[in-house]
Structure 1
Amino acid sequence: MCGISGFISSRSVPENSLRNMNNIIRHRGPDGEGFVLFTESVEMPLVLSGADTPNFTAENRPSWFPDNSEQAFPNDAYVGFGHRRLSILDLSPLGHQPMSYAEGRYWITYNGEVYNYLELRAELENLGHKFVSRTDTEVILAAYAEWGKDCLEKFNGMWAFAIFDRRENKVFLARDRFGVKPLYYWVAPDNNFYFGSEIKQFTVIPGWNAIVNVQRAYDFLVWGITDHTEETLFQRVFHIRPGHSAEINISDGVSHSNGRIYTTKWYDIPENKFSGSMDKAATDFYNLLKQSVELRLRSDVAVGSCLSGGLDSSSIVCLMKDILREAGANNAQKTFSALSKVDKFNEQKWIEAVVCHAQTDSHYTCPEMSDLFDVSNTITWHQDEPFGSTSIFAQWNVFKLAAEDEARVMLDGQGADEQLFGYHGAMGVRFGTLFRTMRWGQLFREFVLVHNIHGYPYKTLVGQFAASVLPQSIQSVLRRAMGKTTPVPAWLNWNVLPAKVVSPFRGAEKSVYDYCHAQMTSTNLQMLLHWEDRDSMAHSIESRVPFLDYRVVEFSMALPDDYKIKDGVTKRILRLAMDGVIPDEIRDRMDKIGFATPEEVWVRETAPDVFRQKMKEAIDNSQGILNSNCVDLLEDIIAGRKPFSFVIWRMINFGEWMKLFSVRVGV
């Protein structure tokens, strides 16, 4: 839901900066827009409308609604909020933002959903609070008025918001536990502080200058990771980390160090331990996940779902079916899926098994190589930063399909793999844990069963095991021998990109728990949520992720390793919990694809010349970061002399990104 923008200033703000920030993210909220500005010269805030602001009648005009005029913005405002609305709860104009509470003491601009808002509203009403709308936005304001920043602990949902307390003269910025919704900020050269839902909002502000962040560019190109720190690929552009907040005292000005403000960590996954049986764990997990799905069906518009045919999305779809039928819903739920013309990457038989079981109204798209580079610039513009593979193109097409069917809310299965140890490439972490705990018999058994079940060569498994237990220096040699990207690749010009040669995954391979914790908080999930947020919001769709209900995550993280991975079987607890809920063929399948594209086939067979041309353009656009060795690597992959690697796409998309956003190398 929605997009937000705002500023804090100790001096004049360039004219129309806030309006321009709002306009560039209209896709996030085409149903309404609004602004509020606070000036020293006028006691009352200036509440302004925009071209998409809905009309109000005299009978339903709330105190926070603007006059119907597109008045010029004052340049002496010291705080300003902007908002773009995607109407999901309370579709009436009463849901307009920025919204105020307590006779105008508190003002908010908010993106997200607090799913337990009905329960919190009842609790707050018992404490004497009154409400005008039926929105969760007003509940957040009342909760902040009642409990201050501790209100965050009460919320179950996804959010990024800013609240201005006029009496205390403070702005409070906060982001949800796992970073489902984005919140970026940038300190301009004139020391004005800006925040927003997307990085591109800063590009419309005078003084913007796009400089590549050397270390984060290295992490993306070499290791294929973004969003794992508070930095972005744009130098001096940061985001509030998941589970963090910031409080800015306006009287003191915005304190920062090289553009980085001080933030407080308000949430971390507690280190609990579950001691019950596997059957008890499965029952508890089922109940928690079902409750999570039920909460995320709260909406005043229809809710659909993504369906890849894998275990995670199938679980969501089938739980939705059970919940909706228990509630007496008669309309078939809608599912949206991506297919492939290449059999190896086509999930159709699995998808249709779920569609048949849940009796859904299914919709399909088939992403084509011929369309990829026609839309890659558009996707990159929406993503703000380069992305790791063309699977994002497949996801883009799924949300495009949903938008064409006028879906406004979608449920998706993100987050299950990270908390339940679902990635096959992490088997080495399991091996290493068994080795360090001297469970030699189980270690040997895992090797054999992973080989038998998943078909991985023993050489690959030994390499994964070694990566988990050997020092970083030896791992580099092994990576080179296995044809993987090395920490110091020859295709980078190190005099242009003088990054520190360090793995962003260092320390995440010690144990199954450490691996899952890192996946949830830094090394993978944040990147996936970034892509999902931009792909969905580009099509004015709100994506909800039931596996990231904090109760589900905390329960999963407390489980013993063997409840997640044992005898080569991943996500054991989810498989047992879904017994009788999803088709057996889905519950028992051991391969894993997701919304993938046949990228390897496209590079090697379908359009190698297209990729050759795009690689040359990427080298030119990279301003010296990439060199001609990129072409040699591509040729080796096309010819089969080296294994396929997504690094090819990363190089190409990195070059596209630098050109699209006019990113420069330098200081």
Structure 2
Amino acid sequence: MCRIAGLIAEGLNQSQIRASVTAMCNTMQHGGPDDEGIYEDESAGLAFGHRRLSIIDLSKNGHQPMTDPRNRVWITFNGEIYNYRELRANLERSGVTFNTQTDTEVLIQVYCKWGTSGFNKLRGIFAFALYDSARFETYLVRDSSGVKPLYYSSNRQRLAFASEIKAFKAAGIATQPNTVWPVLLLAYGHIPEPQTTLKDVYSLPKGHYLCRNKNGSVKLEKYTCEVIGDQILTINGAEDGIRHLLNASVKRQMLSDAPIGVFLSGGIDSSILSLLANEEGGEQLKTISIFFNEKQYNERQYQNAVLKKIAGNTNTHLVTERDFSKHFPDILAAMDMPTTDGINSWFISKYAHDTGLKAVLSGIGADELFGGYPSFKRIRFIKQLRRFPASLLLKTSRLSIGNFKRLSYLAYDHSAADYLFLRGLYTVSDIALILNIHEAEVSQILFDQNTHSRSGNYDKLHAAWYETNIYMQNQLLRDTDVMSMCHGLEVRVPFLDEDLQAFTSHIDPAIRFEKGRPKQLLIDSFKDILPQAVWNRPKMGFTFPLQQWMKNNPDVVNTGRYKGSFAKKTIEGFKSGTTHWSQAFALYQVQAHV
């Protein structure tokens, strides 16, 4: 797990290119503290940079950028290939020899043997750049779930890429702000892909590769394929498959030459992973947990119910309001882009790093796969609500009653409006007031392109698409990566294993979602090991007491720092308890940057 950067540029001398890539890598040193390297090809005007966090093959053999024995293919790679041993054995049978124990070398040979068709053989979390010097082609590739980030800026004269947005600014490659990001943050609570905070810098779509040829032309291609298979129509078949594939995923993702652990929140997902990892890691396993003095947020009793069943090393940490206030500036500084999430990930990652871990397992993805969010129930109401006249729906934005204002989004005939009705922070009219722009400009930014899937069925499969491709993709995964890597920590996500996701997609929705409580199918699949205290409890999520803690933060609630009467009124509402902390946090960040 690492940080990568690179630049191909016409019109710049090689020293300028090298200096830019060096600056990009230095900015991302936190994500790769163990080693650094740069590869240059002056004839191509190219430089690849790498900052290494050593997880597999801790020796110098893992140094990057890495090449094949003929020096034809060069790569700078961020991530893990979980099936690299199977791929290596396959390649060895065909006569390929290896000089290291790294998955990076396997990745190079996968390309050498199969070309771009080899990308679909990879199982893991990754983002990499590969230069084929014989073909004068450069590839940027991102994993099928978009776990690892990869950003790029491209024109005929230049292609720049990096793992973090701040790298582009540090090198002076892209410095102009993307003027639409405040609108997006106030609506979504994050900045949805492919947009970023910088003009002309975009996120590479998951499951895609970008190819730049010697003429400077660029094409974007999807390399993942639709998985075709029979629908799973029995409960026993579904449970057996889930048990087998999640077990296999955990076993595969426990592979590491560095210390590895599990985030244990006390919820269903992390508890299952901890229990499965215990079977694989035993006494060597470390669990990392957080608890609070505030009783309504404290999950210690559920954590303890799991800890009684595992043999590993337990690490629990009390997080107080004082800790939050002390580290709040550090958390803001760690953000690569503004977001209303990530505070919890910053703390748990800090404690994992302090414990000596370099990699951890996380339960991200289970809620999206098995219907764990309120949106899975709420989405069915959208079809009925859309029958009301748009003019009437728009008027709800003038209401002062919290979430009812989001009804106004359904006045817009757009798939993004459906999602924003379910999860949006501010309405179109509120955003216009905060930013002092016209409502038409806000709606154009939010709804100018049909970038989201819209089936019109408004069923739980539809909700799963939204939660996976918008909320998880742009908020959970991105913020987890940024906050963990700022502490030099890799987060692995067994529920996003490609084989498990493919299997789950073939389960009849009536079995996958419709069995009583949320995630009942997942619970039943592991009821033989999961304590009843964990599964027979209200859903909480990995939540901090931020409503109270931010309300006591003088910087956040200082109305004098906010511009405009609506923004000041919103913060006053937050102090009185009528505004959610996520709305106040988004407003705080927008006002700090605009």
How high is the TM-score relative to the length of structure 1?
A: 0.79
- Residue 61 of structure 2 aligns with which residue? 94
> Are the equivalent residues in 2 in contact too, given 1:159–1:176 (CA < 8 A)?
yes
Q: Report the AA paired with residue 338 of structure 2.
A: P
> Are the equivalent residues in 1 in contact too, given 2:325–2:553 (CA < 8 A)?
no
Q: Measure the CA separation in 1 of the matches of 2:439 and 2:39.
A: 44
- Residue 611 of structure 1 aligns with which residue? 556
- Residue 416 of structure 2 aligns with which residue? none
Superimposed CA distance per residue, residues 107-131 of structure 1 (whole angstroms, 9 cap, x where no aligned partner) = 0000000001001000000111110
Is 1:38 the counterpart of 2:41 in the alignment?
yes
Superimposed CA distance per residue, residues 150-208 of structure 1 (whole angstroms, 9 cap, x where no aligned partner) = 111111101100111111110011000011111111248x9432111111111122354
Is 1:417 the counterpart of 2:367 in the alignment?
yes
Q: Measure the CA separation in 1 of the matches of 2:388 and 2:74.
A: 53
- Residue 385 of structure 1 aligns with which residue? 337
Is 1:145 the counterpart of 2:112 in the alignment?
yes
483, 486, 492: which is aligned to 2:427?
486
Is 1:403 the counterpart of 2:406 in the alignment?
no
Q: Measure the CA separation in 1 of the matches of 2:375 and 2:541.
A: 13
Q: Secondary structure at the match of 1:34?
A: strand
Matches within 5 A, 1:647-658: 647-656=583-592, 658=593
- Residue 261 of structure 2 aligns with which residue? 304
Superimposed CA distance per residue, residues 359-408 of structure 1 (whole angstroms, 9 cap, x where no aligned partner) = 3322222333334354334323332111114xx22221111111111101
Q: Measure the CA separation in 1 of the matches of 2:268 and 2:397.
A: 30
> Are the equivalent residues in 2 in contact too, given 1:418–1:525 (CA < 8 A)?
no
Superimposed CA distance per residue, residues 269-289 of structure 1 (whole angstroms, 9 cap, x where no aligned partner) = 547552331122011111000
Shift of 1:357: 1.9
- Residue 195 of structure 1 aligns with which residue? 161
Q: Measure the CA separation in 1 of the matches of 2:221 and 2:374.
A: 34
Q: Measure the CA separation in 2 of the matches of 1:378 and 1:116.
A: 36
Shift of 1:523: 3.9
Hey, which of these two has a bigger chunk of helix by percent? Answer: 2
Q: Return closer, same or farther for 1:122/1:505 CA change in 2, 3 Å cut-off.
A: closer
Q: Measure the CA separation in 2 of the matches of 1:24 and 1:395.
A: 21
Q: Return closer, same or farther for 1:164/1:471 CA change in 2, 3 Å cut-off.
A: farther
Q: Measure the CA separation in 2 of the matches of 1:146 and 1:476.
A: 57
Q: Measure the CA separation in 2 of the matches of 1:178 and 1:84.
A: 23
> Are the equivalent residues in 2 in contact too, given 1:160–1:176 (CA < 8 A)?
yes
> Are the equivalent residues in 1 in contact too, given 2:233–2:511 (CA < 8 A)?
no
- Residue 243 of structure 2 aligns with which residue? 286
Q: Report the AA paired with residue 27 of structure 1.
A: H
Further displaced range: 265-274 or 195-204: 265-274
3, 8, 21: which is aligned to 2:24?
21
Q: Measure the CA separation in 1 of the matches of 2:442 and 2:452.
A: 16
- Residue 72 of structure 2 aligns with which residue? 105
Q: Measure the CA separation in 1 of the matches of 2:230 and 2:387.
A: 25
Shift of 1:96: 0.6
Q: Secondary structure at the match of 2:316?
A: strand
Q: Measure the CA separation in 2 of the matches of 1:473 and 1:242.
A: 38
Unaligned stretches of 5+ residues in structure 2:
404-425
> Are the equivalent residues in 1 in contact too, given 2:292–2:319 (CA < 8 A)?
yes
Q: Return closer, same or farther for 1:475/1:146 CA change in 2, 3 Å cut-off.
A: farther
Q: Report the AA paired with residue 518 of structure 2.
A: T
> Are the equivalent residues in 2 in contact too, given 1:305–1:336 (CA < 8 A)?
yes
Q: Return closer, same or farther for 1:538/1:281 CA change in 2, 3 Å cut-off.
A: same
Q: Return closer, same or farther for 1:497/1:163 CA change in 2, 3 Å cut-off.
A: farther
Q: Report the AA paired with residue 40 of structure 2.
A: L
- Residue 452 of structure 1 aligns with which residue? none
> Are the equivalent residues in 2 in contact too, given 1:29–1:86 (CA < 8 A)?
yes
Is 1:347 the counterpart of 2:299 in the alignment?
yes
Q: Return closer, same or farther for 1:368/1:647 CA change in 2, 3 Å cut-off.
A: same
> Are the equivalent residues in 1 in contact too, given 2:139–2:212 (CA < 8 A)?
yes
Further displaced range: 160-169 or 202-211: 202-211
Shift of 1:568: 4.6
Q: Secondary structure at the match of 1:636?
A: helix
Larger radius of gyration: 1
Q: Measure the CA separation in 1 of the matches of 2:452 and 2:332.
A: 25
Q: Secondary structure at the match of 1:524?
A: helix
Unaligned stretches of 5+ residues in structure 1:
41-76, 256-260, 433-463, 621-626, 659-663
Is 1:130 the counterpart of 2:122 in the alignment?
no
- Residue 243 of structure 1 aligns with which residue? 207
Q: Secondary structure at the match of 2:429?
A: coil
Q: Report the AA paired with residue 243 of structure 1.
A: G
Superimposed CA distance per residue, residues 621-642 of structure 1 (whole angstroms, 9 cap, x where no aligned partner) = xxxxxx33112122123324x3
Q: Measure the CA separation in 1 of the matches of 2:359 and 2:437.
A: 45
Q: Measure the CA separation in 2 of the matches of 1:477 and 1:555.
A: 44
162, 170, 185: which is aligned to 1:220?
185
- Residue 164 of structure 1 aligns with which residue? 131
Q: Return closer, same or farther for 1:576/1:633 CA change in 2, 3 Å cut-off.
A: same
> Are the equivalent residues in 1 in contact too, given 2:146–2:206 (CA < 8 A)?
yes
> Are the equivalent residues in 2 in contact too, given 1:338–1:394 (CA < 8 A)?
no
Shift of 1:101: 0.5
Of all paired residues, the percent bearing the same amino acid is 28
Pairwise CA RMSD: 2.5
- Residue 2 of structure 1 aligns with which residue? 2
Q: Measure the CA separation in 2 of the matches of 1:505 and 1:649.
A: 26
> Are the equivalent residues in 1 in contact too, given 2:233–2:507 (CA < 8 A)?
no
Q: Return closer, same or farther for 1:170/1:630 CA change in 2, 3 Å cut-off.
A: same
> Are the equivalent residues in 2 in contact too, given 1:307–1:317 (CA < 8 A)?
yes
> Are the equivalent residues in 1 in contact too, given 2:515–2:521 (CA < 8 A)?
no
Q: Return closer, same or farther for 1:645/1:139 CA change in 2, 3 Å cut-off.
A: same
Superimposed CA distance per residue, residues 256-310 of structure 1 (whole angstroms, 9 cap, x where no aligned partner) = xxxxx54112226547552331122011111000000000011111210111111
Q: Report the AA paired with residue 647 of structure 1.
A: Q
Q: Measure the CA separation in 1 of the matches of 2:20 and 2:435.
A: 37
Q: Secondary structure at the match of 2:138?
A: strand
How many corresponding residue pairs?
561
How high is the TM-score relative to the length of structure 2?
A: 0.88
- Residue 411 of structure 2 aligns with which residue? none
Q: Report the AA paired with residue 655 of structure 1.
A: Q
Q: Measure the CA separation in 2 of the matches of 1:467 and 1:553.
A: 32
Superimposed CA distance per residue, residues 489-523 of structure 1 (whole angstroms, 9 cap, x where no aligned partner) = 13331159933354687837722112212322234
- Residue 602 of structure 1 aligns with which residue? 549
Q: Measure the CA separation in 1 of the matches of 2:327 and 2:554.
A: 18
Shift of 1:647: 0.8
Q: Return closer, same or farther for 1:591/1:208 CA change in 2, 3 Å cut-off.
A: closer
Q: Secondary structure at the match of 2:74?
A: strand
> Are the equivalent residues in 2 in contact too, given 1:612–1:631 (CA < 8 A)?
no
Q: Measure the CA separation in 2 of the matches of 1:393 and 1:235.
A: 26
Q: Measure the CA separation in 2 of the matches of 1:218 and 1:555.
A: 37
Q: Return closer, same or farther for 1:151/1:587 CA change in 2, 3 Å cut-off.
A: same
> Are the equivalent residues in 2 in contact too, given 1:242–1:521 (CA < 8 A)?
no
> Are the equivalent residues in 1 in contact too, given 2:49–2:76 (CA < 8 A)?
yes
Q: Measure the CA separation in 2 of the matches of 1:18 and 1:646.
A: 36
78, 82, 92: which is aligned to 2:45?
78
Shift of 1:30: 1.1
Shift of 1:612: 1.9
- Residue 442 of structure 2 aligns with which residue? 499
Superimposed CA distance per residue, residues 593-636 of structure 1 (whole angstroms, 9 cap, x where no aligned partner) = 21x111122345xx1654322x543x36xxxxxx3311212212
Q: Measure the CA separation in 2 of the matches of 1:467 and 1:148.
A: 49
Q: Measure the CA separation in 2 of the matches of 1:312 and 1:290.
A: 13
Superimposed CA distance per residue, residues 50-100 of structure 1 (whole angstroms, 9 cap, x where no aligned partner) = xxxxxxxxxxxxxxxxxxxxxxxxxxx611111111111111101110000
Q: Measure the CA separation in 2 of the matches of 1:635 and 1:278.
A: 51
